[in-house]
Amino acid sequence: MIQLRPNQGDLERLKEPFGKLILGDPPKTMPELNSIISRLHPRKVVAVGDVVSRETYAAGIRVDLRIIDHISMRKPTATFNLRPKTTYHVKNPAGVITLESWEAIKRAMKDDDAVILVDGEEDLLALPCIVESPNNSLVLYGQPSQGLVVVDTSSTVRNEASLILSRMTREETSRT
């Protein structure tokens, strides 16, 4: 299995939001997200993470792709009943991006109702989502203990994500 590990110099940048940070818990962030979606009419909406996926679902917000691992803040999350048209299963250990996950994201971007179930951790998968999503899309992910990050996938933010991905160390591991 081939995986990409972040460059030490990029770790601090990865802790900062890549887009607009909406502070607060879901009762505050979901209505604000809904108004952003109404205003921008994004081509795709991608939710990375269990809490964001569950809360957008509960709020009735259309999401084309959800990426979940059934873990939030290192603890198991309550499962919720998604019935996507397409489901992908990938392995993605903590702290890396597997090429298997990146390929699943590329394929899922062609779907309009998909879930990628991650065996491992989905935290870094927002980066390939930013790079692979079409122009004028939104990538959503949680900023731990702060709120919701809404990334409008402009060429500027896609270029920054691409640069970070290009600096990652490529590792080959045995399949587990």
Q: How much is the pLDDT for 99?
A: 97
- DSSP H helical ranges for the chain: 11-15, 26-40, 50-58, 99-108, 126-132, 155-166
How far is it, in rounded angstroms, from Cα 125 to Cα 33? 20
> How many domains is the chain built from?
1
Task: Tell me the residue range of the domain where 123 lies.
Answer: 2-10+19-172
In this structure, are residues 108 and 114 in contact, taking their beta carbons and an 8 Å threshold? Answer: yes
Q: How much is the pLDDT for 148?
A: 98
How far is it, in rounded angstroms, from Cα 77 to Cα 45? 22
In this structure, are residues 62 and 84 in contact, taking their beta carbons and an 8 Å threshold? Answer: no
pLDDT for 44-94, tens place per residue? 999 999 999 999 999 999 999 999 987 765 566 666 667 778 999 999 999
- Model-level pTM? 0.93
pLDDT band for position 141 (50/70/90)? very high
How far is it, in rounded angstroms, from Cα 140 to Cα 170? 26
pLDDT for 16-39, tens place per residue? 999 999 999 999 999 999 999 999
Q: How much is the pLDDT for 70?
A: 76
Q: How much is the pLDDT for 83?
A: 77
pLDDT higher than threshold 90 for residue 164: yes
pLDDT for 107-124, tens place per residue? 999 998 999 999 999 999
Which amino acid, 40? Answer: L
